[in-house]
């Protein structure tokens, strides 16, 4: 259902707020007891900038010159209200920047003490892998999450990672 909804909003791909608003409108009422989070990042390679917005999603991480920035621009998850506001952040891009989009399944796994992997662990792994290829970063992150969780505990939520390096 989400795939079909995304295809129908192609004319507004450059506007993260319009994309998220359109998806919310199409999905509202379709599954009344379920809520969907989303993040939308539009990268304009010609003008070296990105536009970002989210619906109940973890922040976008931007690694630039050894410093990690949390880009928060969040509206409500899909399905809560018919007229949500999805603020948009414009992000200038520089060569060497790294962007990381991820789902909450990355930060929510708990260790034996019930402590979640969390933002701090995520940020440590990202900063420690700045010189690695994107695929190496994702492998390291998944390895760290698996090591954090007790071996007998199954993963409770999906994990999605997208790493983008700016050339």
Number of domains in the chain: 1
**C-alpha radius of gyration, the chain, whole number:** 17
Report the Cα 108 to chain-centroid distance in Å.
14
- Report the CATH number at residue 152: 3.60.40.10
Looking at residues 63-70, what average pLDDT do you find? 95
Q: Are 162 and 100 in contact (CB under 8 A)?
A: yes
Q: Tell me what pLDDT residue 10 has.
A: 67
Is it the case that residue 11 has pLDDT exceeding 90? no
Per the structure, the complete domain to which residue 156 belongs is given by 2-165
Query: How far is residue 161's CA from residue 61's CA, in Å, rounded to a whole number?
Result: 11
The fraction of the chain above a pLDDT of 90, given in percent, is 63
Mean pLDDT, residues 122-134 taken together? 95
Helix (H, G, I), strand (E, B) or coil at 107: coil
Mean pLDDT to the nearest integer, 68-91: 88
For residue 77, name the pLDDT band (cuts at 50, 70, 90).
confident
In this prediction, residues 44-50 reach a mean pLDDT of 96
What's the rounded mean pLDDT across residues 18-26? 86
- Let me know: does 60 contact 52? Beta carbons within 8 Å: yes
pLDDT 10s digits, 137-163: 999 999 999 999 987 766 667 899 999
Q: Give every CB contact of residue 81 below 8 A, 6+ residues apart in sequence.
A: none
Statement: residue 9 has pLDDT above 80? no
Query: What is the per-residue pLDDT for 78?
Result: 83
Place of tokens 């970063």: 137
Residue 13 tokens, joined: 């791909």
């Amino acid at each position: 259902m989400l795939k079909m909804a995304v295809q129908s909003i192609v004319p507004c791909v450059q506007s993260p707020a319009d994309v998220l608003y359109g998806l919310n409108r199409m999905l509202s009422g379709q599954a009344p007891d379920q809520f969907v989070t989303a993040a939308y990042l539009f990268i304009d390679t010609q003008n070296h900038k990105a536009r970002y917005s989210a619906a109940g999603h973890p922040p976008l991480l931007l690694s630039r010159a050894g410093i990690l920035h949390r880009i928060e621009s969040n509206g409500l998850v899909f399905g809560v209200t018919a007229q949500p506001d999805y603020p948009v952040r414009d992000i200038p891009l520089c060569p060497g920047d790294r962007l990381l989009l991820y789902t909450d399944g990355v930060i929510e796994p708990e260790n034996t003490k019930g402590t979640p992997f969390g933002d701090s662990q995520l940020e440590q792994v990202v900063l420690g892998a700045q010189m690695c290829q994107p695929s190496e970063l994702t492998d390291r992150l998944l390895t760290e999450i698996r090591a954090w969780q007790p071996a007998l505990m199954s993963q409770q939520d999906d994990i999605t990672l997208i790493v983008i390096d700016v050339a």
